Structure 1
Amino acid sequence: MRCWRLTLSLLLLSAPLAYGQPQYSEAACILLQQQIERFSHQPQLSTYQDSKRQFDNHCQNPLPAPTHDLVLTNIPAKPVTLTNSAQNTSAKPVAVLPAKAVAAAKPAVANPADGMNQILGATVKMLAIPFGILLAIVLARVILAKLFGITDSSIKGALAERQLRRVLQRELPAGYQHYANLVLPTTTGDYTEIDHLVLSPFGIFVIEVKNYKGWIFGGEKQPQWTVQNFRSKHSFQNPLRQNYKHTEAVKYLLELNSSANEGQVYSVIAFSSRAEFKTRMPTNAIYIELIGDYLQQFTQSCFSDEQLRQFAARLNMAADRRKVLGKLHMQQFDA
Structure 2
Amino acid sequence: MIAVVAIIFSLCLIAVPLWNSYKDRRLLRTVTSPDRGTRSERHLVVKLLKRGIPSQAVFHDLYVRRQSGNYSQIDVATVTKAGIILFEVKEYSGWLFGKGYQSHWCQVLAYGKVKHRFYNPIKQNETHIASIRHCLRHCTGANFPVYSVIVFYGNCVFRDISCIPDNTFVIKPGVLPEVMDRILRRKADAACMNEGEAIRLLREAVMNGANPQIVAQHSQMVRSITNCH
Name the TM-score, length of structure 2 as normaliser.
0.68
User: How much does 1:235 deviate?
Assistant: 0.6
Which residue, 131, 137, 144 being the options, matches 1:249?
A: 131
Name the structure 2 match of 1:205. 85
SS of corresponding position for 2:205 = helix
- Partner Cα separation in structure 1 for residue 53 and residue 219 of structure 2: 34
SS of corresponding position for 1:267 = strand
- Partner Cα separation in structure 2 for residue 167 and residue 303 of structure 1: 23
Name the structure 1 match of 2:106. 226
User: How much does 1:289 deviate?
Assistant: 2.2
Which amino acid in 2 is paired with 1:242?
Answer: Q
The verdict on how the C-alpha distance between 1:174 and 1:162 changes in structure 2, with shifts beyond 3 A counting, is closer
Name the structure 2 match of 1:289. 174
SS of corresponding position for 1:278 = strand
1:328 aligns with 2:211: no
- Partner Cα separation in structure 2 for residue 178 and residue 172 of structure 1: 11
Name the structure 2 match of 1:185. 65
Q: Is the 8 A contact 1:273 1:288 kept in 2?
A: no
The verdict on how the C-alpha distance between 1:285 and 1:202 changes in structure 2, with shifts beyond 3 A counting, is same
Which amino acid in 2 is paired with 1:296?
Answer: D
User: How much does 1:229 deviate?
Assistant: 1.5
% identical aligned pairs: 26
The verdict on how the C-alpha distance between 1:306 and 1:249 changes in structure 2, with shifts beyond 3 A counting, is closer
Instruction: Give the strand-richer structure, 1 or 2.
Output: 2
- 1:254-333 equivalences under 5 Å are 254-255=136-137, 261=143, 264-281=145-162, 282=164, 284-298=169-183, 299-301=185-187, 302-303=189-190, 307-324=194-211, 325-333=214-222
How well do the aligned residues superpose, as a CA RMSD in angstroms? 2.7
The verdict on how the C-alpha distance between 1:223 and 1:306 changes in structure 2, with shifts beyond 3 A counting, is closer
Name the structure 2 match of 1:195. 75
User: How much does 1:295 deviate?
Assistant: 1.6
Q: Is the 8 A contact 2:49 2:55 kept in 1?
A: no
Name the structure 1 match of 2:20. none
- 1:104-123 equivalences under 5 Å are none
Q: Which moved more, 1:300-309 or 1:235-244?
A: 300-309
Name the TM-score, length of structure 1 as normaliser.
0.48
Which amino acid in 1 is paired with 2:219?
Answer: M
User: How much does 1:242 deviate?
Assistant: 1.1
User: How much does 1:204 deviate?
Assistant: 0.7
Show structure 2 runs of 5+ residues with no match.
Answer: 1-36, 225-229
- Partner Cα separation in structure 2 for residue 295 and residue 256 of structure 1: 28
Higher relative contact order (CA 8 A, sep 6+): 2
Show structure 1 runs of 5+ residues with no match.
Answer: 1-156
Aligned residues: 176
The verdict on how the C-alpha distance between 1:202 and 1:175 changes in structure 2, with shifts beyond 3 A counting, is farther
